[in-house]
Amino acid sequence: MALVAHPSSPSHHRQSPLITRRTTYQRLNSSISQTTSLPQTNTSTKYQLPLLQQLTSLCQSKQSLPQALTFLQQQNPHHETLDSLQRKEAIGLLLQACGRYQDIETGREVHRMVASSTLFHNDVVITTRLITMYSMCDSPLDSRLVFDGLEKKNLFQWNAMVSGYSRNKLYEEALRAFIELVLQTDFKPDNFTFPCVIKACGGILDVRLGQGVHGMTAKLGLLGDVFVCNALIAFYGKCGLVDEAVKVFDFMSEKNLVSWNSMICVFAENGFAQEGLRLFSEMIKCEKSFVPDVASLVTILPVCAGEGNLEMGMVFHGLAVKLGLNQELMVKNALLDMYSKCGCLSHAKGLFDKDNNKNVVSWNTMIGGFATQGDARGTFYLLRKMQVEGREKTNEVTILNVLPVCLERSELLCLKELHAYSIRHGFHYDQLVANAFIAAYAKCGSLCSSQLMFNGMETKTVSSWNALIGGYAQNGAPRKALEFYLQMINSGIKPDRFSLGSLLLACSHMKSPRFGKEIHGYLIRIGLETDPFIVISLLSLYIRCGKSASARVLFEEMENKSLVSWNALIAGYSQNGLPDEALVLFRQMLSDGIQPDEISINSVFRACSQLSALRLGKEAHCYALKAYLAEDIFVGCSIIDMYAKSGCIEQARRVFEKSRNKDVALWNAIIVGYGLHGYGKEALGLFEKMLAFGMKPDGFTFVGILMACCHSGLVEEGLKYFNDMQNFHGITPKLEHYACIVDMLGRAGRLDESLRLVNEMPDEPDAGIWSSLLSSCKTFNALDIGTKVAEKLFELEPNKAENYVLLSNLFAASGKWDDVRRVRQKMKEIGLQKDAGRSWIELGGKVHSFMAGNTSFTGSKQMQNMWRRLEEKIRKIGYKPNTNSALHELAEDEKIEVLRGHSEKQAICVGLLRTSKGETLRINKNLRICVDCHNAAKLISKVVEREIVIRDNKRFHHFRDGFCSCGDYW
């Protein structure tokens, strides 16, 4: 026997409407009074006596209920001032108060008093209120005992029992009681029964059963009842059947405020934000002009929060002020949540600090806001402040809100402190909290603590195993993740989609497509291969394992391609060195009507960067501006990176200067850009400017600084910044920092220092560091050091062709042709093939590619003629072919012919043929530019009076008026 109303709990303000208890009791009292022909309390002066008024007053607070009970017990049943009807009403009032304040002990005493009374022990009104009192005190078992002990039962008591089960989320018991009512009695369920039953159907998400109950209400003629319809709206919304909810709403001949609130809630919870906002507007403008209440605002504000619609959220804030609802605690909490999720943490903090009436939800919302922003210091500060100043004690939600901010090793001490606090207060017994600690320890790099936490759990659910397996998979221990997965299976726990997703992630990190395919087969057998979460995990697996073709097949088989799946494949193509395919797929996504987001456009900029496709990059930049994506900080970094890697550092700088919010990532992008172009002094100037603005550099900043020093020959400056990084900025060098220093010393010819640094590094040097050192040995003909370095390199990467080519070139530069043949024979035995020199240039939005020595290009005759004319001109101003760049055992004239076929020379010729006079040529090369091509490009830039920008696999070269930006240092 309950009415459907909007939720009043601050922690569940977006859930479907709940039972309005007070209205239920009023209607129940009215119905019972009419049935039993009792006089109405409110209209009879006979019952407005001082004793009854005194009891009513005592029932207004929980603390006074025992006193109210004592007062009632002291009254003589035969006293003339308190007759049986008054005593009955007094008992009913006290039972209502016990239920309202959840004082079950006082309620039990009242129950004993009733049981000992021959007059009231089987009274319809009192027994109904006893059943309701126990259910409101979260003790439905006691409700059932009262119910089963009744000699006779009427519909009110059945309704109270069904309502009690539903209120306590014992939905199956509620449905069983309803079935008993229908099958074992002659009573017909009414408009009190059905809202509770419909709620129970929603609780177990049984659509068919709910539709059956809907049919029963239609047959009984109850679809005109507003409370039944409100319950149906909430049920269909909870089951995701928005259209059905709309049909019920539109069918209603009479709608109250709860109806509108319920329908808005359905839209909000099912992702129809705009429809929810529209309906809110209609509610205000409709014929009855409903005035929004607290429930309306706490339903609509989360819609604004979910959409990140700050402007609309502020409108509703103004409405709350106008209606005088802004001081309601639930509304204030909803406003805090809205401002936090819309990125206006300062607004939320301002409201929070001004509010003296806070509850635990207020504190949790504010703490969660800081955690969402990744502000670990602010989150822990607020948590400690809550302990010192807050009247409300922390709960499990508080801990769960804090834990997501524990992402780095630097937060490990705070995490342990939080863990100890949770143990002292018993929060660690909560499954969600324990699982969150397992994940947090893993993210902070303490996998051992994560496992200890897991081992200490008495009951390990699949979620607990998932937290551990996911922690190992995500934090550098994929093989341990596989081991624990097998342990989970052996313990009898059945894996779910999250277990299998973590397993696929582990295979991705191990780059093991064989294991991944086995899991894929298992997923097909159990019917999970179409699950959206699993499909994305499979896509990521194949992409990370370099199996782009397999990923594409999986993608094409998807019936409903989400934006996430498009993004995954586009990013995968870009990551696997297939930028052309990434751009083609992006165009297909647009033609299919899929609206890109920040992740999509980032992948496009990355593809343009790989191709150095400036025209395509500019088009993508325009699109990002029109789609309002360019304001995103990561998109801004990608735009700067694209211009820098397309050889247009000036445009990259302009984008940087126009950016409103320059965070560390944006500074890093422009510093790295200048470093790539060899503009070391400019990069250092930007770094000093960054410090002057109060920005705190990170590890990526120093990668850019050291790279700039490396490419500019600023060795002493580079060593100084390397020391400052550790001593003044507290940043521990990683492999990438050591790689920059090794490369910098090697390029400067300080090979002994470079080798000494490699041997003294705290971490084991990777193949990239040894490869860089070997390349420097080739430059300076350091044969002895080079052969030793090559041995180390082959231990790490025995099957990489580039390593053998480096050693072969080292021998060739020293004239050791027998050793060259030996190395090349070894490559042939292993089945390795040298990457041919390749260059490409973008002309008219199309990328043209050239291979060294390949004359199959359409118009190659024109290209050859162009080169002859160019060679003739540059010879006159000093060009002489550098045959040392032709690392082949050939005659001098044959070497010169080989040099003429280098791919960058082909690209320059075609660029000159197909572009206007004075236009800058932008060329890319997959290998390091050779000395001969470098010399030729300098002189060509002078004779044709053009700038030529060549990006090799190390850096950029800007050729102007016979000079190169690198100063011949590369």
0.85 exceeded by the pTM? no
Closest CA to 233 of 202, 263, 191: 263
Find out whether 937 and 908 touch, Cβ atoms under 8 Å: yes
pLDDT at residue number 77: 52
Reply yes or no on whether the pLDDT at 667 is more than 50. yes
pLDDT at residue number 143: 94
pLDDT at residue number 856: 60
Question: What residue has token string 């509610």?
Answer: 283
Find out whether 360 and 393 touch, Cβ atoms under 8 Å: yes
Distance CA 179, CA 213 (A): 11
Distance CA 718, CA 704 (A): 11
Percentage, residues of the chain above pLDDT 70? 93
Residue with the larger pLDDT of the pair 813 and 215: 215
Distance CA 216, CA 333 (A): 40
Report the number of secondary-structure helices (H) and strands (E) in the chain. 51, 8
Helix (H) or strand (E) holding 145: helix 140-148
Number of Cβ within 10 Å of residue 296's Cβ equals: 27
pLDDT at residue number 156: 94
Q: For the residues of 48-106, what is the DSSP string, one character each?
A: --HHHHHHHHHTTSGGGHHHHHHHHHHS-TT-TTS-HHHHHHHHHHHHHHHHHTT-HHH
Reply yes or no on whether the pLDDT at 454 is more than 50. yes
Give the distance, in angstroms, between the CA of residue 537 and the centroid of all CA atoms in the same chain. 15
Find out whether 503 and 485 touch, Cβ atoms under 8 Å: yes
Please give the structure tokens belonging to residue 582: 């990434």
Residues 613-629 have pLDDT tens digits of 888 899 999 999 998 89
φ/ψ region of 344 (left if φ > 0, alpha if ψ in -120 to 50, else beta) reads beta
pLDDT at residue number 858: 54
Number of Cβ within 10 Å of residue 832's Cβ equals: 17
Percentage, residues of the chain above pLDDT 90? 60
Please give the structure tokens belonging to residue 717: 């400056």
Residue with the larger pLDDT of the pair 956 and 559: 956
Reply yes or no on whether the pLDDT at 33 is more than 80. no
Strand partners, 623: none
pLDDT at residue number 815: 86
Closest CA to 181 of 203, 201, 155, 214: 155
Please give the structure tokens belonging to residue 55: 């009891």
What's the whole-number mean pLDDT along residues 368-387?
88
The DSSP bridge pattern shows strands 18-20 and 3-5 to be antiparallel
Distance CA 870, CA 857 (A): 19
- Report which DSSP code applies to 885: G
Number of Cβ within 10 Å of residue 287's Cβ equals: 5
Closest CA to 162 of 194, 191, 187: 194
Residues contacting 378, CB < 8 A, separation 6+: 370
Per-residue confidence band for 271, with pLDDT thresholds at 50, 70 and 90: confident
pLDDT at residue number 17: 34
Cα dist. 960→261, 417, 879, 918, 939 in Å? 69, 61, 16, 12, 9
Residues 876-897 have pLDDT tens digits of 999 999 988 888 888 888 999 9
Per-residue confidence band for 36, with pLDDT thresholds at 50, 70 and 90: very low
Q: Rank 300-314, 494-508, 762-776, 936-950 by mean pLDDT and report only the highest.
A: 936-950
Distance CA 316, CA 283 (A): 14
Helix (H) or strand (E) holding 710: helix 699-712
Residues 894-926 have pLDDT tens digits of 999 999 999 999 999 999 999 999 999 999 999
For the chain, give the mean pLDDT: 87
Pinpoint the alpha helices (H) of 901-944: 903-914, 931-943
Give the distance, in angstroms, between the CA of residue 534 and the centroid of all CA atoms in the same chain. 16
pLDDT at residue number 532: 85
pLDDT at residue number 26: 39
Distance CA 338, CA 763 (A): 46
pLDDT at residue number 188: 93
Residues 560-596 have pLDDT tens digits of 888 999 999 999 998 888 898 999 999 999 999 999 9
Is 255-355 a CATH 1.25.40 domain? yes
Side chain identity at 422, as an amino acid letter?
S
What's the whole-number mean pLDDT along residues 345-367?
89
Closest CA to 254 of 295, 225, 284: 225
The helix, strand and coil proportions of the chain, stated in percent and rounded to the nearest 5, come to 70, 5, 30
Reply yes or no on whether the pLDDT at 1 is more than 50. no
Pinpoint the alpha helices (H) of 714-800: 715-727, 735-747, 751-760, 767-779, 783-796
Distance linking the first and last C-alpha atoms of the chain = 84
Residue with the larger pLDDT of the pair 531 and 652: 652
Find out whether 47 and 433 touch, Cβ atoms under 8 Å: no
Distance CA 176, CA 182 (A): 10
Q: What are phi and psi of 956, to 5 degrees?
A: -105, 150
- Report which DSSP code applies to 461: -
Residues contacting 241, CB < 8 A, separation 6+: 207
Q: What are phi and psi of 231, to 5 degrees?
A: -65, -40
pLDDT at residue number 45: 37
What's the whole-number mean pLDDT along residues 409-433?
89
